Each structure stands twice: as C-alpha cells, then as structure tokens.
A and B are shown apart, each in its own frame.
Chain A
Amino acid sequence: MRNQLIIRGCLERARFTLDLDLSIDLNEPLGIMGATGAGKTTLLRIIAGLEPDFTGSVAFCGDVWRDGMIDRVPTHQRGLGVAFQDSRLLPGRTVENNLNFATQRAPAVDSRLDYMTLVEALDLQHLLCEPVDSLSGGERQRVALARALLARPRLLLLDEPLSANDGVHRQQVIAHLGDWMSAGGTPFIYVSHAAAELAQLTRQVLILDQGAVRALGKTDTLLDAGNVVPGTEPSSFAAVVVATDNDSRTATLEFTDVDDAGIALNRGERVVVCRDVSEGSGLDASLQPESDEDQR
C-alpha cells in the first residue's frame, strides 16, 4: 500500500479522451512521456485534484482522494508539491516571499532538505529579493521547483520543471534532484520530453498517446533503441540526421516532410533518438519530440 497510486476513470477533452486504469508503485520514481497533447499534464492535474470533470477514483497510499465526481480529500489537504511547467508564482511578490508561502504551509516533518541548501543548489540566492515578475522563464521554473520541494510533500509532481532552463542548470539541478529524492524517499512523478532526464531520474516510465496508456515499464527497457516511442508502432518518415554525438548513440534529426512523421511535429522541428546512426543517413523509426533547448 505504501506509495501505491491508483487512478481509474476517464476525462473527456476536445483533443483526446483520457482513459485510465493505473496502479503504480511509486517507491520507484515514475517518468511520464508522450507527444504534446498526449495528456501528460492533465494526468498530473487529475492526481492533484484540479480536474473537476474527471470521473473515477484516485487513491494514494490507501487514502481515497477522489471517488466518482467527489473529492474526498481536496487539493490543499493532499500533501502535494507541484512544479508546474508555467511556474505559477505568486505575482507581485519576491522570490523569498514565494518560497515562504510554501514553507509556512508545509507539515512539520523532518526534512534533510533545508531552505539554504535548496536555494544554493537551485542557484537562487542572488534572486531572493527580486520580484518574481522580473525573472526569466528558467529562473521562474527553478523557484517553482524550490517551492514545491519546500512544501515537504508526500508526493511530488514535476511537470517539465526545467524545460526553460539551459543545459548547465538542467544538469546541475537534475543531479541534485536525484540525490535528494533517493535520500529523502519522497515519491515523485517526472514529466519530460527529454529521454536523458528520465533515464537519470526515474526507474519506470509511463508512455501516453492521445490520452491512452501506450506502455508502462522499466525506464531502461522502454528507453532502449527504437522504443523511445509515443507512437503505436514504428513508422517510416523522411528525416535527415543533422548531428550525432561522439559515440553515435544520440542523433539530432530534422524532419523534411511533416506528413511522414505521423506525430505532432512541425517541419524543421528537431528530435533526438538513441540509436546507432551516422550523419546524413535516413531513419526508420518513430520518435519522441524534443524541444530545441534539449540539444544544448
């Protein structure tokens, strides 16, 4: 029962219907991936109790959070920490004030993660007195992440928490995050497009495609060559490999024809695959979309 997350039910959306029957042991950190619009964020919102139209049940650690259309435990009593992709900081306040908002409402449990450690590790010390409205997107995301961690959550939900950060900050934060999470034992769910981040942080991965669960399994297995796939089955498409890393395990592709891709990507948009390839070659695989920043 400990850290068992159960979600059953469905939610209709204009672009997809989220149909879920999940029972996940969160003692192993969970990653969620899938194309844009696959329902990743919506799934986190259901867990957080922010989707009033969701019909079904949500239970965590044996506590029923939602039953049918009724919230048995409202959002503010679920003991969550959520880092939203769009940060959602309290406007018109300083970084410090935003962090205090979380600290003041956090349960009084012992935490290895104290305020100063967190502020330093997330490179926020020089920003504490700044109003959040003046921060960059990446800085806002790091404040949101710090805020979620300072809430001392029972369950941490991270929705692409570093997507607006540069490679240096990403690597730095992910390394810390991995350490903290394994030390503190806080169960967490990490949504990301970046296979490398998921490989580093999670032990199991859930792949969503248009609201349906395509796969749930070990991160190592699912992220293996050719399986980085939010699509149903590998499809061939026209793409050109524009760069590879040193050992040819990761390649950056550029789509030449949108229709061939079969997934929601625009012409010229880039993806990364883990597969043995050489520059200039074509590929026959389905892929996980990756934003430009992931390349850095």
Chain B
Amino acid sequence: MPDDMQAVWLTVLLAGVTTLLLFPIASPLAWWLARSDSKGRSLVEAVVAMPLVLPPTVLGFYLLVMLNPESFVGGLWFNVTGESLTFSFSGLVIASVIYSLPFMVQPLHATFRAVPVPVLEAAATLGASPRDQWLNVVLPLAKRGYLTGGVLTFAHTVGEFGVVLMMGGNIPGETRVLSIAIYEHVETLNYQAAHSLALGLMCFSFLSLWLVYRYAGHRFEVVR
C-alpha cells in the first residue's frame, strides 16, 4: 500500500507540473492560432492535435527514440544534467506536455477566438498597450478557457498509460504512476489493490469533468 500511495503522489505531481508548464506554453500558441491568418496555421493545428488520434504507443515510441541518451536531444540533456530523459520523471514531464498539449490548446483557442477584436481596438484607443490589453481585457474574458484547459490537462495526464509504459517503464518513485500501478496489480492478479486504485481514478475523472461542465459552462461573472 505505501507503494500505491507513492504512485498516487507521483501521478498528482506529474499532472500538476505538466498543467503548470502548459499554461505558459499553450497560451501564446493558442493566441497565435486564434489571431493568425497565416497559411501555416492549419499545419500547426494539425500537429498540435496529433496526440488526440495517435496511439499513445506510437508517441511513446518516437519519444523513446528522440529522448534516449544516445540521441541528440537526450544526449544534450544527459551532458548537462547527468540524467537520462528516458525512464525518468523529467522525461515523463516532457512526454506529458506533448501528449496533453491539445487538451490545453484547444479550449484556450476557442476562448481566445471569442474575444472580440473591436473591443481590443477600443482598449487600444483608451491607451492600453498590447500587453495591457492581454492582461486586462483578454485574460479576464478567457477565465473559463483556462479553467477548462487546466482541468482537462490535469485529468488527461492522470489517465496517461501508453506513453509512460513505452518511455518511462515502471520505476517506483520515478515513473510508476497510477495507471501503471493498476496494470501491475492486474498482472500479479492482485485484483483487490487494482480495484481500489481504479475506483479512485473513476471518481476523480468524473469529478473533474463535472467541475468543467458545472463551472465552465456558466457565463463569466461580472467584474466589479
């Protein structure tokens, strides 16, 4: 059981770090997608959405190839930190950021697209710089998008299995997340332990989705 608690903690940590990293990564990307007329936009949209349709094993396989210490990226990381990106927590974070990218980008994209350009123009005429407009006009209007993106990203990362299995393995305290722990319990025919973890995940997923529909479905509050 302490092993399982460790897996729960590791999963929460992984999902939390991934979500926090994706806020600043996905924001400019989603903003660009929402505002750009560039021909490259559909290309970028397609790349961002890839993890939605790819089997996680495919993604995991290429990440394993790209990030292992023999590869360029993995080697560079190894030289700088002395740590391998494969079969490590840092590697899992990178994988999760890529794997969950569409779950953050798409809600933000939708919410940014709904910010009316005329209102931004009006803000500019009132003396608001582009940064000021972003912080004080766009962000307050995008609260729902951030809530949705945050909850979906967190929940999706918690539910990650194939990618972790491919490039993280099953190292307790390092890469052994909840879904892997459940898998192992089933493999070792420990259905009792598998049940308690699986049921917990079910409840968590339901609660987070309910949270999204309950609050993100509402009209934004009036700022006073």
Contact = CB atoms under 8 A, between A and B. Distances in A.
Indicate the member of A76, A92, A94, A148 with the most B CB atoms within 10 Å. A76
Interface stretch (B11-19, B94-102, B215-223): B215-223
A92 B140 contact: yes
B119 A94 contact: no
A76 B140 contact: no
Contacts of B136: 101
A90 B127 contact: no
A20 interface: no
B119 A91 contact: yes
Chain B interface, >50% SS class: helix
B155 to A, nearest CB: 27
A24 B222 CA distance: 43
A93 B122 contact: no
Interface in A59-101: 74-82, 84, 86, 88-94, 96-97, 101
Interface string A28-48: 000000000000000000001
B222 A105 contact: no
B182 to A, nearest CB: 43
Q: Which 10 A-B pairs give the minimum distances between C-beta atoms?
A: A105-B127, A88-B122, A82-B125, A75-B124, A131-B222, A93-B223, A76-B124, A80-B125, A88-B118, A102-B126
13 contacts: A50-B121, A81-B125, A82-B125, A84-B122, A88-B119, A88-B122, A89-B119, A91-B141, A92-B220, A101-B123, A105-B126, A131-B222, A144-B122
Interface of A: 48-50, 74-82, 84, 86, 88-94, 96-97, 101-102, 105-106, 129, 131, 144, 147-148, 151, 157
